[in-house]
Chains A and B, each alone.
Chain A
Amino acid sequence: MSDEYENKTGYQAQSSETIGGGGSGTVSDVDHVRPAEIPEQDLYHGHSFITKWIFCQDAKVIGVQYFLLATFTGIIGLILSWLMRLQLGFPEAAGFMTAEHYYQFVTMHGMIMVVYFLTALFLGGFGNYLIPLMVGARDMVFPYLNMVSFWSFFVAVGVLLASFFVPGGPTGAGWTLYPPQAILEGTPGSGMGILLMCISLVLFVAGFTMGGLNYLITVLQARTRGMTLMRMPLTVWGIFTATILAMLAFPALLVGGLMMTLDNVLGTSFFMPTILKAGEVLEYGGGSPILFQHLFWFFGHPEVYIVALPAFGIISDLISVHSRKNIFGYRMMVWAIVGIGGLSFFVWAHHMYVSGMNPWFGFFFATTTLIIAVPTAMKVYNWVLTLWRGNIRLNVVMLWCLGFIVTFVNGGLTGLFLGNVTVDVPLSDTYFVIAHFHMVMGIAPLMVIMGAVYHWFPLVAGRFLDETLGKWHFWLTFLGAYSIYFPMHYLGFIGVPRRYFEMYDSPYVASAVGMNEFISIAAFIVGAAQLILIFNIIKTLKIGKPAGHNPWQANSLEWVTPSVPPEHGNWGEKLPVVHRWPYDFSVPGAKEDFITQTTPPSEVIETEVEKT
């Protein structure tokens, strides 16, 4: 490693690292980066098929494992949503579905998509793959723990899916699992189903804690030389902040789940007041169902941002790379991510405006909730301002980004309806809510996932995904999903409540039948369109165009690995040294329209680069 630091003025030397123009000092002075603090990490290299691909300690393999398993559960969630839409749109064709089935599918679809699909995919999948590469580490700091994390997730998914086969079936309490109904007869799966759900969640949280510790410590303590926090790509910032939220929010879910399990199994009365059921007073008494809701949403609201923040981060990078322009207002973006993350712990009860909690909470939570809208709006402005005067490649990745902006702006703005306590009163528990959160934390993050898949597939597999197929995939998904959820808001305006197995005997919702049929058809098409991606991936793995090094001319570290796809240990002999932020695109005076993070200042001396 080039330890050619003459002056040992320490931090002084690093902070006064003026780049370009200044002309003070020799070349080596300009390029000086503080020596390494941390000794080289020893890695366990697998030598058999099992240690290399199954019980593997390489974060990249674990990331892919997470990605595949999360996608698998996601597909199950998708199929469940088809069944639900079949019932809602064409009840006569769904004769095999009872109300029990419907509620079980609703519950499992919700839980799978939010926790086992989106959270696992963003943090487990993208987090594992990208964090070590993007911060210039050889691997996650605790590879063994990381492996255990994935296998806990595996077992959690197993337990979750096992609940389909127990007597009574999976729980049908809605993904919020509100007691008392979750553990009382009259709700499907109130015995074994809810028990397995709680066990699965506990396993997930345990596994996630192991993974989350890894992501945090890798970002905090294992960055490469020159990589300051403010030089990290926003992807890492998003995943990092989301992980902090997860570490602090999942405990509330764990506690709530544990207490409900005790109520269910031992007959304690944490959440159970005196209850009259089928003419008999149950053994419970004195508990408070609202407490569970507070615990759940103390977890649940940060959970929304656990899904959203990585999406924010990733989309910023994709937009920046593909419009050949730095992300506009990087610092603002970082502070917005951190600010949103911090505030997300103070807004939880906006999910509970009509839950019967202390009515005065409405003032507090409406205010904090609308405050969050400000940093979020700033992020949106910065995304579109990044496009402004860029040099936009309208490839598939960019299309997904644009799709994200449209759906996110739409879904974010309907959030202003629901966050504002008065407006929430008529709209809560209606289809408006369904449409809002699917738009903002279903479709928008999905757009990001897809964009990220098209963007990083050349890195992971070394080949480009097919553009034409990708465009079909995008337009079918985007237009289809938009036409599912945009009209759905208006069902909420009529007053159609959510979680209704059927609703057509109300006179004033008769007009909704046609819309429901339309939405269902669109949902079938969108779901089926995802097959294009699977086909595309299989095709590409066989005959895709080889990508080579840095195919998108990006700046961040994951593209400068010596081999593509990167090997275990990522960097070969030497760790990279970082000299700049990852957004030096189209710098005036530079030969190319990008300068990678590892390019020392002495190589681009005549450029006018922002000091970062």
Chain B
Amino acid sequence: MSETRKQEQTTTHKIGIYLWIWGLLFVLSFFSYMVDWYQFQGLLRWSLILLFMFLKAGLIMAFFMHLFWERYALVNVLLWPMTAIGCFIFLMVAEFKYTVFTRFFYFVVGG
């Protein structure tokens, strides 16, 4: 089995893809900066921030980190643990709401 097969040469992608993604990242960053610039508030602000954030993160992961071209076996392993994070976030939102409620109720307003 000595020195059998080495990945002979990994095929690479055209430079255009990288430049495109690069450009898109700049544009998206610019957009998210604009969210602050125009001082959008409330739900609109938050949803825009999240939208641009996930788009950017998705582009980086999919193309710069090559996940788009990787086999699902790898992608699958990487994405499942995120459910635990999701659960953690979800519960901590409920938790901080509860904390801030008790603080507000028992230390400030009362009644």
- Which chain A residues have a beta carbon within 8 Å of chain B's beta carbons? 1, 35-37, 39-40, 248, 288, 290-291, 294, 298, 342, 345-346, 349, 357-358, 360-361, 364, 574-575
Knowing that A294-B88, A298-B88, A358-B98 touch, tell me 16 more A-B residue pairs with CB under 8 angstroms.
A36-B1, A37-B4, A39-B4, A39-B5, A248-B84, A290-B95, A294-B91, A342-B80, A345-B81, A346-B84, A357-B98, A358-B94, A358-B95, A358-B97, A361-B95, A574-B1
User: Can you spell out 22 A-B residue pairs with CB atoms less than 8 angstroms apart?
Assistant: A35-B1, A35-B4, A37-B4, A39-B2, A39-B4, A40-B2, A288-B99, A290-B95, A290-B99, A291-B95, A294-B91, A294-B92, A298-B88, A342-B80, A345-B87, A346-B84, A349-B91, A357-B95, A357-B98, A360-B94, A361-B91, A361-B94
Task: Tell me if B3 is interfacial: C-beta within 8 Å of chain A.
Answer: yes
Q: Is B6 close to A, CB under 8 A? A: yes
* In the complex, chain A residues whose CB is within 8 Å of the CB of B3: 39-40
How far does the alpha carbon of A298 sit from the alpha carbon of B87 in the complex, in Å? 11
Minimum distance in angstroms from A292 CB to a CB of chain B = 12
CB interface residues, B 1-56, toward A, < 8 Å: 1-6
Say what secondary structure dominates the interface of chain B: helix
- Interface readout for B77-94 with A: 1 if CB under 8 Å, 0 if not? 000110010011001101
| 8 residue pairs, one from A and one from B, having the closest CB atoms | A345-B84, A358-B98, A36-B1, A1-B1, A358-B95, A358-B94, A39-B3, A36-B4
Interface residues on B, range: 10 to 19
CA A310 to CA B101, docked complex, whole Å: 42
Q: Return chain A residues, CB-CB under 8 Å to B1.
A: 1, 35-36, 39-40, 574-575
Chain A contacts of B98 at CB under 8 A? 357-358
CB closest residue in chain B, given A346: B87
Q: Looking at A1, A345, A358, A361, which has the most chain B CB atoms within 10 Å of its CB?
A: A358
Complex Cα distance, B1 from A574, in Å, reads 8
A574 and B97 CA atoms in complex are apart in Å by 62
Residues of chain B with a CB closer than 8 A to A248's CB:
81, 84
Q: A153 → chain B, closest Cβ, in Å? A: 24
Task: Enumerate chain B residues within 8 angstroms of A357, measured Cβ to Cβ.
Answer: 95, 98
CB nearest to B5 among chain A residues: A37
Chain A residues with CB under 8 Å of B84's CB are: 248, 345-346
| Cα of A361 to Cα of B84 in the assembled complex, Å | 16
Residue of A nearest to B81 (CB): A248
Q: Look across to chain A and name the residue whose beta carbon is closest to the beta carbon of B100.
A: A288
Compute how far the CA of A36 lies from the CA of B81 in the bound complex, rounded to whole angstroms: 31
